[in-house]
Homo-oligomer: A and B are copies of this chain.
């Protein structure tokens, strides 16, 4: 083995000693180079190089207070919806030379709390979070301690907290309205648990669409709860649907990943889409248009969502909190109408 012994990291005083200057001067070279004469500056830089000195962020931060880093906690980094949001965040923050640390809570409140604490302890400027619970008191507490908090994909229930969200009631409504217009009278909703806000809101929207059409939501809509919001969850959900005594003619899925799983089962069972079963997804991910049956889906402005969230995070903390709501958009494709798009 050729690994060098990992000796103690060089500190600023080591640098000062080898350069023959005081620690204050080294610090000045690092932070206000113009205050230092070129000759000493070079000497110090040489010493830094020689010792391969990397300043200790903890020490710096301890003294200086805060840093140009923000945290983001999403439900699942493997979900394209959230990664698109994360891209939006990164794109905005890097404009201000901020860095983002991304973490995924897996919808587990404990994990969320752990990351929240990790970020707070490390003194991030702010945290953007897709809450795993409906209760957000813990987030308000963080806010109260002086850390900027922006709710992602979730409108803030209180005025003191900034948030960026998409109108999920409208999204659920437009999807189901679309299916009703096509004549479906029994519609399954492959949904997540209702304590997740998005799920509850889309359900509300779905019921509203049915009611508006003069039908009884309890008769038309079948709530199928899936445990994981991905293709596996979608598979399980669709299998459950197909075993119902009175099989629905259409399925609305909580996201495109779940729809993907649902389509997989339908293909395996030889059920044609949309004639045997119409399918509508949510998120309009990249590949939705390219599936064997192009997927009708509710599109959300993901990149915008992240971008604006980062905007709010960077906003003057003294300014009023802001709640932004975007509107979703239905993208109709063959999985519901049976007509391929141009």
Contact = CB atoms under 8 A, between A and B. Distances in A.
Copies of this protein in the complex: 2
Interface string A232-254: 00000000000000000000000
Given A6-B317, A80-B80, A145-B54, A260 B286 contact: yes
A200 interface: no
Interface residues of A, number: 68
A56 B122 CA distance: 7
Contacts of A121: 54-58, 60
Given A3-B321, A118-B57, A52 B123 contact: no
Contact of A99 (B7, B115, B260): B115
B263 A141 contact: no
B84 A78 contact: yes
A116 to B, nearest CB: 10
A290 B122 CA distance: 43
A31 interface: no
A44 interface: no
A77 B87 contact: yes
A9 B145 CA distance: 6
A224 interface: no
Contact of A56 (B69, B123, B287): B123
A99 B103 CA distance: 8
B320 A141 contact: no
Interface string A288-302: 011111100000000
A90 B115 contact: no
A237 to B, nearest CB: 16
Contacts of A231: 286
A83 to B, nearest CB: 5
A209 B164 CA distance: 51
A144 B1 CA distance: 13
Interface string A42-67: 00000000001011111111100000
Given A118-B69, A146-B9, A290-B264, A159 B55 contact: no
